[in-house]
Homo-oligomer: A and B are copies of this chain.
Amino acid sequence: MSASASSGPLLVISAHAGDFVWRAAGAIALAAARGDRAKVVCLSYGERGESARAWREGKRLEEIKRLRRDEAEAAAAELGAEIEFLDAGDYPLVESPELVDRLVRVYRDVEPAVVLTHTLADPYNGDHPAAARMALQARVLAQAIGYDAPGEPLGAPPVFFFEPHQPEQCDFKPNVLLDITSVFDRKRKAMECLPAQVHMWDYYTDLAKRRGVQLKRNAGPNLGLPHDTRAEAFVRLYPQTTTELA
């Protein structure tokens, strides 16, 4: 597992403002470190469903949205990523052809080499599968030359689902473990940009350790892997294409 050269843009499509940090900050920081464009699209701010503390403190809707936006922008900056907010509302995030069309335009603009999004099942949060369904639908539409949107037809970039909060309940069986040891410090700093969810910092630090232990167990002769290996887990949706089994 050697260092990698640039391999093309990374696109992350998430339901709420904080998701990309807990679930994919390592992948994002790795892309940025390689010099690849990394773009995060948040369909909503998570203003209703993921901001319990702010509501308990009596904050109001617009204030909460601004707060979430600021935090997410700080985290994205920490990781070296662009971020865009579609402000489509959460709890529920309502699917619509218009919203899918906006995502098609993002695909045509970014021309991602890799796409990350939520799992298609999540019995704890209906917004997550809704975001995933739209992300997948838009990816297919963007491939059609006949779809009326600016830009060239998209290739067929691979899609990876990032890890949900309770993986087994979401039928999340990881088939890719990504070594994020070299950028874990940046992931931790990005997490610390989200002070309202301070209890998550350690939860996801522990998870990175746990996935790191598993990576070492699956890495074959792992002589080069350090004791404190950190990892993120993903599920690859489409078959991997390759010229070499490894």
Contact = CB atoms under 8 A, between A and B. Distances in A.
B168 A174 contact: yes
Contacts of A124: 140, 217
Given A136-B123, A141-B91, A177 B100 contact: no
Contact of A3 (B4, B176, B238, B243): B243
Given A144-B48, A242-B179, A220 B123 contact: no
Contact of A156 (B113, B158, B219): B219
Contact of A241 (B126, B165, B177): B177
Contact of A206 (B51, B140, B206): B206
B157 A243 contact: no
A175 B236 contact: yes
Contacts of A169: 173-174, 238-239
B242 A158 contact: no
A207 B208 CA distance: 12
Interface of A: 1-4, 7, 10, 27, 30, 34, 47-49, 51-52, 55-56, 61, 64, 91-92, 94, 97, 100, 113-114, 116, 123-126, 136-137, 140-141, 144-148, 153, 155-158, 160, 165-169, 171-179, 203, 206-207, 209-210, 213-215, 217-222, 233-234, 236-246
17 contacts: A4-B243, A49-B141, A52-B146, A52-B153, A61-B146, A91-B144, A91-B146, A113-B246, A114-B245, A156-B217, A169-B238, A175-B236, A176-B239, A176-B240, A214-B239, A218-B238, A234-B245
